[in-house]
């Protein structure tokens, strides 16, 4: 039998039983829509996590002191005094792979300007710090090497700080603010960065030279961290290895001794979060996949009923010359068409549902061609797979018995 | 009249296995049917007439014996080859019409040609229309099968059986579900087809229906007990006219 005729027969049979066809399809429709929507939500959150992490700088490598262990009590990283400015200088002079390097010191305290005050965080580094951490200057300028050298009391302020201590429309540049009672001259403002992955406001901060923070605020000689920018993302691993080697030399660690510092890269962060969100994705995807399989079983069930109900039709088709393979193809095509139609409706519904989720709940969604292709192929496969058995049953009937069937 | 032999069976046996018992449905049947014949196969239920029709219709194979259809021996054919024979050489009319539900008369008649890859779409449509015109359903081609009366449905089934220009049409109790008047109308149609040269093989247990044929073959216990030409064949159209008179007489 010609394929086009087969197609006509199968479509006619589906249309002849509109209600039943629709209900059969419903299982596949819901399954495919669920797969599309679940994958869209999962991949959307994955992508948004990745983009927030890389907004912190994908080439970023940070070196932190290993947490201290004194008499069995972990002291936390901030009390460690292992990282010094001399380490930064040493790495700078010896490393071949580092693109930019800066010490990082931070502190917290109260900003006061006029009658307003606001609790915030002060971050500090050298002149390359803003480049490494991707802070951008909105107005004014970044501090200079000379200002770092003399530990000048200058700073740049983040948008949240500006909102809270300055009057609306007031230009902060040139104003004098106090941080923990130390007066700072505002020389620039920072571009808005928004919240990071952990929900922390990245604009609630002040940026100052590290020398100033070390000498005048923290009165400490050690660093909270060293931040480094690798030349490219591919070189992160090589750069990390080189830093480990150099720092071990600088800290005169014996072969058997553990590192007294810890290297973290954005890649690690991404892969940590990635594995969590991938787990979510697999979970959501498999729940949706199960509903698709249940839909397939629905198709099989209906095809079985249909084959039994249409036994006489099958007998007639055989009597007038239909071969077993014609009957097989007819029912197989019918099942496949049901699931493909269902799949198409499901895809449309899934995309609509994803968009509604995005608009109504504000969740990030990402619909990929792959997820559409995957669910479409999967439901076609389900149609063929679950249609096969009933179709085979139909094809194997004996025409005389089928014709006699009541 | 052309006396070409269309069906020739020799010493045909058919055994069924029912549990441990072997049922001998046909016990050595010889029968020859030539082109242009109108044969009624008669007998009580269990006489073997349906079994014979299944074998003649290539729906079943004999246990032993030979069956030559249109010159070829059917005995050695497989399932698919039998299907092709049924599709291209035979026509079937059933007691319960067996039309596809909710499908137009035209599409029902087209059905056998759909299974013949040699027939094009336009040819298929033309042949189906001609067959429906021949059975007097020119105005009802687009009607759905479930919107038709029993007689009309059986006409569609007859059109379907002749659409592939078969060498013989097999009818199995084709009037069994119809009232007398409609039965006579259907028989008139068969007589008309037969007059135009179509060979018809008609299974029935009603003697008055068999009177419209040209030859009666009577079965009993798997054997032919009577095979005779009908000398005074009834004309179905005349019978129909008489039927109207009788109804009229009753009315008075």
Q: Which residue has the higher pLDDT, B159 or A1?
A: B159
Buried-state track B96-106, b at ≥16 Cβ within 10 A, e below 16: bbbbbeebbbb
Q: Would you state the structure tokens that stand for residue B19, as one six-digit string?
A: 């549990």
Nearest CB neighbour to A320, from listed B92, B102, B117: B92
Q: What is the mean pLDDT of chain B?
A: 90
| Cα A128 to Cα A132: distance, rounded to the nearest angstrom | 6
DSSP class of B146:
G
Contact criterion met (CB < 8 Å) for A16 and B103: yes
Tell me whether residue B94 is exposed, middle or buried, using C-beta atoms within 10 angstroms of its C-beta: 0 to 12, 13 to 18, 19 or more: buried
pLDDT at B249: 55
Contact criterion met (CB < 8 Å) for B112 and A400: no
pLDDT at A216: 87
Share of residues in chain A with pLDDT > 70 (%): 94
Confidence of residue A370 (pLDDT cuts 50, 70, 90): confident
Confidence of residue B252 (pLDDT cuts 50, 70, 90): very low
Q: Which residue has the higher pLDDT, A115 or A66?
A: A115
User: Is the Cβ of A1 closer than 8 Å to some Cβ of chain B?
Assistant: yes
A110-144 per-position pLDDT tens digit:
999 988 889 999 999 998 888 888 888 999 999 99
Contact criterion met (CB < 8 Å) for B80 and A399: no
Q: Where are the domains of chain B?
A: 37-45+85-251
Chain B nearest C-alpha distance from A27 (Å):
26
B186-242 per-position pLDDT tens digit:
999 999 999 999 999 999 988 989 999 999 999 999 999 999 998 888 888 888 888
Share of residues in chain B with pLDDT > 90 (%): 70
Tell me whether residue A97 is exposed, middle or buried, using C-beta atoms within 10 angstroms of its C-beta: 0 to 12, 13 to 18, 19 or more: middle
ipTM reported for the complex, 2 dp: 0.91
A189-220 per-position pLDDT tens digit:
999 887 766 677 888 999 999 999 998 888 88
| Cα B81 to Cα B84: distance, rounded to the nearest angstrom | 5
CA-to-CA separations, A162 to A154, A158, A182, A202, B244, in angstroms, rounded: 15, 6, 18, 13, 107
Chain A nearest C-alpha distance from B191 (Å):
23
Nearest in space to B134 (alpha carbons), one of B181, B91, B196: B196
Which residues of B are less than 8 Å from A323 in CB distance? 79-80, 83-84, 115
DSSP class of B99:
P
Confidence of residue A78 (pLDDT cuts 50, 70, 90): low
Contact criterion met (CB < 8 Å) for B115 and A312: no
Contact criterion met (CB < 8 Å) for B92 and A319: yes
| Cα B104 to Cα B116: distance, rounded to the nearest angstrom | 20
Ramachandran angles phi, psi of B23, nearest 5°: -95, 125
Paired residues of A178 in beta bridges: A112, A183
Nearest CB neighbour to A1, from listed B96, B100, B114: B114
Contact criterion met (CB < 8 Å) for B98 and A316: yes
Helix A369-395 with A324-361: angle, nearest 10 deg: 150
Confidence of residue B1 (pLDDT cuts 50, 70, 90): very low
Q: Where are the domains of chain A?
A: 3-52+272-404, 67-259
User: Is the Cβ of A403 closer than 8 Å to some Cβ of chain B?
Assistant: yes
DSSP class of B60:
S
In chain B, the residue whose alpha carbon lies closest to the alpha carbon of A325 is B80
Chain B nearest C-alpha distance from A324 (Å):
8
Confidence of residue A258 (pLDDT cuts 50, 70, 90): confident
User: Is the Cβ of A401 closer than 8 Å to some Cβ of chain B?
Assistant: no
DSSP line for B27-59: EEEEEEEETT-EEEEEE-TTSSHHHHHHHHTTS
A75 pLDDT more than 80:
no
Confidence of residue B2 (pLDDT cuts 50, 70, 90): low
Which residues of A are less than 8 Å from B54 in CB distance? 400
User: Is the Cβ of B95 closer than 8 Å to some Cβ of chain A?
Assistant: no
Contact criterion met (CB < 8 Å) for B160 and A16: no
B111 in helix, strand or coil? Answer: helix
Query: Region A278-284: what's the mean pLDDT?
Result: 82
A341 pLDDT more than 50:
yes
CA-to-CA separations, A212 to A88, A145, A147, A152, A157, in angstroms, rounded: 17, 12, 9, 6, 15
For residue A275, the number of C-alpha atoms closer than 13 Å in the C-beta half-sphere is: 5
Chain B nearest C-alpha distance from A12 (Å):
9
A96 pLDDT more than 50:
yes
CB B200 within 8 A of CB B38: yes
> Is domain B37-45+85-251 given the CATH code 3.10.180.10 in the classification?
no
Contact criterion met (CB < 8 Å) for A320 and B57: no
In chain B, the residue whose alpha carbon lies closest to the alpha carbon of A399 is B59
B8-58 per-position pLDDT tens digit:
999 999 998 888 898 899 999 999 999 999 999 999 888 889 899 999 999
pLDDT at A67: 66
pLDDT at A38: 85
In chain B, the residue whose alpha carbon lies closest to the alpha carbon of A17 is B102
End-to-end CA distance of chain A: 28
B70-108 per-position pLDDT tens digit:
988 998 899 999 999 999 999 999 999 999 988 999 999
B173 in helix, strand or coil? Answer: coil
Nearest CB neighbour to A5, from listed B60, B94, B114: B114
In chain B, the residue whose alpha carbon lies closest to the alpha carbon of A315 is B98
Contact criterion met (CB < 8 Å) for B86 and A321: yes
B85-88 contacts, C-beta under 8 A, 24 or more apart: B85/B58, B86/A319, B86/A320, B86/A321, B86/B57, B86/B58, B86/B59, B87/A320, B87/A321, B87/A322, B87/B112, B87/B115, B87/B116, B87/B164, B88/A321, B88/B116, B88/B164, B88/B166
Which residues of A are less than 8 Å from B80 in CB distance? 323-325
């Amino acid at each position: 039998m010609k394929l086009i005729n087969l197609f006509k027969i199968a479509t006619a049979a589906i249309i002849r039983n509109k209600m039943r066809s629709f209900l059969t399809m419903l299982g596949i429709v819901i399954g495919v829509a669920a797969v599309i929507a679940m994958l869209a939500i999962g991949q959307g959150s994955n992508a948004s996590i990745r983009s927030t992490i890389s907004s912190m700088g994908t080439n970023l490598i940070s070196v932190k002191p290993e947490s201290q262990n004194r008499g069995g009590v972990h002291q936390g990283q901030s009390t460690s005094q292992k990282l010094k400015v001399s380490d930064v200088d040493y790495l700078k002079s010896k490393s071949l792979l580092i693109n930019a390097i800066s010490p990082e010191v931070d502190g917290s305290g109260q900003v006061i300007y006029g009658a307003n005050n606001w609790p915030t965080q002060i971050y500090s580094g050298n002149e390359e710090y803003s480049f490494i951490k991707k802070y951008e200057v909105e107005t004014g300028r970044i501090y200079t090497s000379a200002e770092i050298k003399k530990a000048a009391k200058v700073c740049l302020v983040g948008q949240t700080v500006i909102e809270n201590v300055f009057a609306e429309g007031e230009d902060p540049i040139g104003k004098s603010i106090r941080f923990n009672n130390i007066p700072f001259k505002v020389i620039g403002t920072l571009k808005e960065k928004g919240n990071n992955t952990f929900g922390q406001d990245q604009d609630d901060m002040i940026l100052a030279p590290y020398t100033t923070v070390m000498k005048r605020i923290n009165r400490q000689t050690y660093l909270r961290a060293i931040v480094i920018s690798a030349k490219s993302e591919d070189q992160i691993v090589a750069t990390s290895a080189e830093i480990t080697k150099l720092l071990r030399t600088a800290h005169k660690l014996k072969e058997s001794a553990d590192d007294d510092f810890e290297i973290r890269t954005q890649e690690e962060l991404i892969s940590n979060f990635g594995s969590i969100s991938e787990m979510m994705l697999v979970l959501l995807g498999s729940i949706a996949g199960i509903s698709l399989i249940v839909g397939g079983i629905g198709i099989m069930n209906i095809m079985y009923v249909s084959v039994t109900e249409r036994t006489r039709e099958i007998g007639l088709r055989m009597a007038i010359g239909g071969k077993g393979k014609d009957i097989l193809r007819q029912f197989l095509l019918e099942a496949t068409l049901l699931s493909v139609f269902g799949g198409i409706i499901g895809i449309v519904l899934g995309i609509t549902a994803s968009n509604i989720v995005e608009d109504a709940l504000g969740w990030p969604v990402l619909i990929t061609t792959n997820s559409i292709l995957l669910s479409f192929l999967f439901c076609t496969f389900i149609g063929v797979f679950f249609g096969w058995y009933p179709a085979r049953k139909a094809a194997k009937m004996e025409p005389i018995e089928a014709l006699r069937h009541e | 009249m052309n006396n070409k032999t269309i069906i020739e069976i020799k010493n045909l046996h058919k055994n069924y296995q029912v549990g441990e018992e072997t049922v001998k449905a046909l016990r050595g049947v010889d029968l020859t049917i030539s082109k242009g014949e109108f044969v009624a196969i008669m007998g009580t239920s269990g006489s073997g007439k349906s079994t014979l029709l299944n074998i003649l219709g290539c729906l079943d194979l004999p246990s032993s014996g030979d069956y030559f259809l249109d010159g070829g021996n059917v005995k050695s054919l497989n399932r698919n080859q039998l299907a092709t024979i049924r599709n291209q050489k035979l026509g079937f009319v059933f007691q319960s019409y067996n039309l596809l539900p909710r499908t137009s008369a035209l599409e029902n008649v087209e059905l056998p040609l759909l299974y013949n890859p040699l027939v094009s779409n336009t040819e298929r449509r033309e042949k189906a229309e001609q067959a429906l015109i021949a059975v007097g359903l020119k105005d009802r081609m687009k009607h759905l099968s479930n919107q038709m009366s029993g007689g009309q449905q059986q006409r569609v089934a007859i059109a379907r059986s002749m659409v592939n220009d078969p060498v013989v049409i097999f009818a199995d109790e084709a009037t069994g579900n119809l009232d007398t008047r409609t039965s006579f109308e259907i028989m008139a149609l068969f007589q008309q087809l037969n007059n135009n040269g179509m060979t018809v093989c008609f299974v029935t247990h009603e003697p008055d229906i068999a009177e419209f044929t040209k030859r009666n073959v009577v079965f009993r216990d798997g054997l032919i007990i009577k095979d005779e030409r009908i000398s005074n064949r009834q004309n179905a159209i005349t019978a129909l006219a008489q039927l109207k008179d009788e109804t009229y007489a009753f009315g008075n």
